[in-house]
Every structure is written in structure tokens, then in C-alpha cells.
Amino acid sequence: MATSLMDTRATLSKRRAVESQDFLAVIFVGSGENLYPFNQGTNVVSKALLPVGNVPILNTVLDWVFQSGLTDVLIISPPSTHTAISNHLQENYSSGSHPRARIELKRYTDGEKDDDDDASASAGGGAGGYGAYGYAEEAGDKVGTARLLRRFRAFIKSDFVLLPCDLAAPSSLPLASILDKHRTSPDAVLTAVFYEPVEAVKDGAEKILVGTDRATDELLLVKDVEGMEDDLELRMELVRTHPSLSLTTRLLDAHIYVFRRTVLDLLAQRRPRDLDSVREQVVPWLVKGAWQEGLGQKWAPILNPPKRDPLAAALAASTSARPGWSDLLAGPGSPASQHTPARRSDSASSSSSASTSAASAPSAGDELVKFKAGLVPEPLRRRRREPAGWTCKVIVVKPEPVAAPEPAKDKGGKAAPEKAAEPDHLIRANSLAGYWELNRRALRLAAQGLAGASAAPQPGTPGVAPGGGAQDELAPPLISASAQISPDSLLGEGTRVGERASIKKCVVGRHCVIGRGAKITGCVLWDFVVVEENARIENSILCANVRVGDRAQIKDCEFGTGFEALAGASLKGERLVAGQEA
């Protein structure tokens, strides 16, 4: 009976948490422009569904969101990948498996129509026409993130956290800690996350100059290094107001932003054609406006509107409260500040008005001082900087070393040499280098038993399929008894491995066929890949439905969906899609 009571209370607390959501998670799904050849050819897999350790990367992001206590999610995707993502969500995040989750999936074109769309249509930019950025508006697969936020502002009723679909955060960075940082900074309109990348990702990443205040954790500058001149110019106002300013080019933008809802009101003031990127436009605007006085005063009524004090309004309407109390509690412009005192006698009123008029009459000296003050420009008369009323906060994520597993002991009882623990990085799959690193980490975690993935199936095990399901005892084993599969490999459901085949440090998807004598090392194979007999593949990524002919030699390559390497082919360092010849 006591157990039932505790369960009921837990359910009620969960319901209250759902009803009192203070943030909405908004996930943008891009087209994967930097992921060639994954994004070319027929039957292209959505960027959100890229398999990492045989699990779509979107699952990692959604699980990270739900672990923080958030339940409301808005996913905005290109029209071309909407159906695939919708099917995936129905299969993996249904009301049965995630009863508290409220996931809404929208196409780019489902938002509010831009005024520019009408203009382009009237100018001949209808079907097959091109919009302001030189892409087909009818397809709608390429729209700037800032413009998307403006389109979908009617769907966002509260403060929100903007996330990419290709993120894998370290275990030391729960989303709840980012949201708490924003919650405890009531003057923040933005909390952004920057991180130190893994070495393999540094070379290909776009460098940016990031300025932060180490004392206050404020974000003060975000600027692309590529467009900068040899000399860096900083405003004295910035240096004077933030003596703890720190500049670095070692950080990358995680594209994790916690925004105040009023930022959408600021975007609504901009023409859609002027909006493109959140990182390149919106974030620098907010950062500059927080310390630059002119912009701060201009945007303050939008980003930081005056709040109505309910207590002051109640006292103003009261018939028993003293006028002095309501005046004390009321702020400028509130109803209580216009409290009308009780009417006094006519004699007292006339004497008071006479004294007031006498006191308010300006003298000749006062008029001269006022005249001279009018001759001085306003900027010169302003001696103290008025704060903008808001700030932009920053969280810098640095890799933390992960505790290494206990060293194994040999037959003599001596401990084997310890391997240095690899630091846990924040990684994004927005580049080939990042995608490689995510799969390597998935293999490392699987080998340590931390990813929840089962070990590689034992060759020749009767009655057990690689996915753990039952197998017909009369059918030949899916994995030959003479095949060699390393423990730090992952095999998907239904994959067949032939005699004397070798798989080491690989991620192999579902329903793949590895022929007799094939050797695969350090590779990522998606679903339905066929590797014929005696082929050799090393450090390569093979997308879905790729076929490698017998005795082919493949090294350091990436093949798009449906590519076919002919028998006996020798390829090294190639990036190819279906229909291309090596």
C-alpha cells in the first residue's frame, strides 16, 4: 500500500513538471552541406538520421533533452526529409514509449509566410523560381536559421533553447546545467555554449574569434577570423567596461543557444531578406547591443520591456491603502504612480497651488543655465554609461578526462600497462571529421560497456542472431565460426559474415553481407552494404546500399549511397557517389 502511494505522488510531480515547462527545445535539421558525399545521390539519409554506432544521431539529441526534464520539442526540417524523420519518430518516440514527450515536427515551409515570398512570386519566382539567396524557394530545403526563427515565432510561446540535430554532448554537460545557468541570470537574453574541439576536428573547422569576460561569464565578441584584417580593432567602451576581457580562437560554436522569447520580437522588426544565420547575425547583434550604448537603448524596449507590477496595480485600485505606500511600491509609468490623493479643503488646495506655482517659476539664472546646457551636444553631456538592461552569458566546455577502466592482469597477476584515458569532448557530426570521431567514441564506449550496446556476437553461435533475436536452428549461422570479429566492433541486426572474414574496430549496420575472406578494419558501414569475397577495406565510410566487388582494395575513402566499386578496383582517398567512376 505504501508503494502505491509513493508511485501516485511521483506521477503527480511528473505531471506538474509537464505543465510548468519554462523552456521549449527547438531543433533545426539542416541539409548537411559539409557532409559530401553523404548528402548526394538518390535516397539520401537525413542529417538527423545519420547512424552513429548504428543509432541515429537525432536519438542522442532527443534523449539529452528529455534527461533535462524538458518534454516539449519542436523539430524543423527540410521538406525533402520530413517523411523519413516523421516515420522515425513514430517508431521510436511514440506515446507508448515516451508518454510525457510532446514532439512537434514541422517543415521549413510550414511557418509564417515571409513578405519576400510574395515579392519573389510576383517577380516570377514561383514554381522553379529562386528567392533572395539563389535557391529554389519551392523546394524550401535551404533557409537561413535566423529566417526560420522569424517564420516560426508563432509556435514558440516561451523562452527556448535552440539545438542542432547532430550534437553529442559529454557526460559532464547535461542540458539541465545550461538551462540552470540561464535561469540564474535573469538579465540574460542569451546563453551560448562554446567548446574546445577534438584535435581531429580542429583543422577543418571554421575559426572564430571569441571574446568573453572571465569575471562575469559574459559573451562580448563573436567574429569570423577569415573576414578579419591583420589588425584587430576594439572599441574603448568595450575594454573600459570589461577589464577582464579574454580573446581566443581555440573555441568553436556548439550552436546551443538559450534565448529569451523577446529575441523573436526583435527578429520580427527585421526584413526577412536581411536574415540568414543565427550564429553570424543574431548572436553578434545581441552581444554588441549588450555593451554598446546606442544599440542597447534602441533595442531595450523590445528585448527588455517594462514589466507591470501586479502589487502596485492592486494598491492603486485600493480605497484603503495610503497614497505614500503605493507611490513607494510603484515604478515609473505604473498605475500606482498616478495615484490620486483624497480631495482636501478648498483653502488648503488654493494655498498649496499658490506655493507650488511660486516655487516652480524659473529664475533668470535657471533659464541661462538651461540655455547653455542646450548648446552642448547630448553625447558630451552624458558622463556615465547607461546599461542596456540585458547581458549575453557564455558557457565554455573543455574536455574532461574520463576515468580509465581497471587494467587487466596477465597470467602472472601483473597489471598490464595502463592506457591514457581519452578526454570526453563535445562533438558535432557537421563534418566528416566530426562524424568519424563520433563513431570512434561509440566503439570506445561499447568496448567499455558504457554505451548500452551489446558486445559483438560470437562467431558460429547456434540459434542467436547478431541483433539478439532468435534464429532458425536449421538455417546456417549468420556469422561463420571461422570469422574473426574484434570485441570493439558493433554489428547490426541481420548482418551475415562469411568464412575467414575479419572485422576489426568497425561499425557495421543492419542486414549487411560480408563475403568470405573479406577484411574490414576501422570502417563504418551503413545498412544493406555488400562486401564481396576477399575485398580489403580500411578506414572508410560506406553509406547505405554500397557494393564493393570481390578483391577490391579500398582505403581512406567515403562512398555515397548506392555507389558500386567494381571487382578488383583499387581506390585510395576518394569521395564518390553513385554514378561516378573512380
Q: How does pLDDT run across 227-270, given as a tens digit for each residue?
A: 777 777 788 878 888 888 999 999 999 999 999 999 999 999 88
Band of residue 33 on the pLDDT scale cut at 50, 70, 90? confident
pLDDT surpasses 80 at 498 = yes
Q: For the chain, report the end-to-end CA distance as a whole number of angstroms.
A: 71
Please write the tens of the pLDDT for every residue from 362-393. 666 666 656 655 655 555 444 445 556 789 99
146 or 232: which leads in pLDDT:
146
Q: Read off the pLDDT of each residue in 189-199 and give the average, rounded to a whole number.
A: 93
Rounded mean pLDDT, 123-133:
36
The owner of cell 537525413 is 46
Within 10 angstroms of residue 472's Cβ, the number of other Cβ atoms is: 8
pLDDT at 356 over 50: no
Q: Tell me the mean pLDDT in the region 519-533.
A: 97
Strand ranges, E, within 196-338: 208-213, 218-224, 245-248, 252-259
Per-residue pLDDT at 417: 56
Of 448, 447, 476, the closest CA to residue 462 belongs to 476
The least confident of 215-219, 247-251, 436-440, 469-473 is: 469-473
* Global confidence as pTM: 0.77
Q: In which band, very low, low, confident or very high, does the pLDDT at 96 lie, cut at 50, 70 and 90?
A: confident
What is the average per-residue pLDDT within 23-42? 91
Cell numbers placing 172: 559532464
Check: CB of residue 148 under 8 Å from CB of residue 164.
no
User: Per-residue pLDDT averaged across 171-181, rounded?
Assistant: 95
pLDDT at 137 over 60: no
What integer pLDDT is reported at residue 388 of this predicted model?
Answer: 63
Q: Provide the pLDDT for residue 205.
A: 77
- CB 71: neighbour CB atoms within 10 A? 20
Residue 502: pLDDT band (50, 70, 90) is very high
* Predicted local distance difference test score (pLDDT) of residue 141: 61
DSSP characters over 412-440: TSPBPPPPPPPEE--EE-SSHHHHHHHHH
Q: 469 pLDDT exceeds 60? A: no
pLDDT band at 493 (very low <50, low <70, confident <90, very high): very high
* pLDDT higher than 50, residue 354: no
Strands (E), 159-270: 160-164, 167-168, 188-195, 208-213, 218-224, 245-248, 252-259
Q: How far apart are CA 324 and CA 327, in angstroms?
A: 5
Any idea which of 147-161, 184-198, 232-246, 382-396 has the lowest mean pLDDT? 382-396
Highest mean pLDDT among 131-145, 197-211, 353-367: 197-211
How far apart (Å, rounded) are the C-alpha atoms in residues 246 and 124? Answer: 50
Q: How far apart are CA 141 and CA 107, in angstroms?
A: 9
3-state secondary structure of 258: strand
The reported pLDDT for the residue numbered 403 is 58
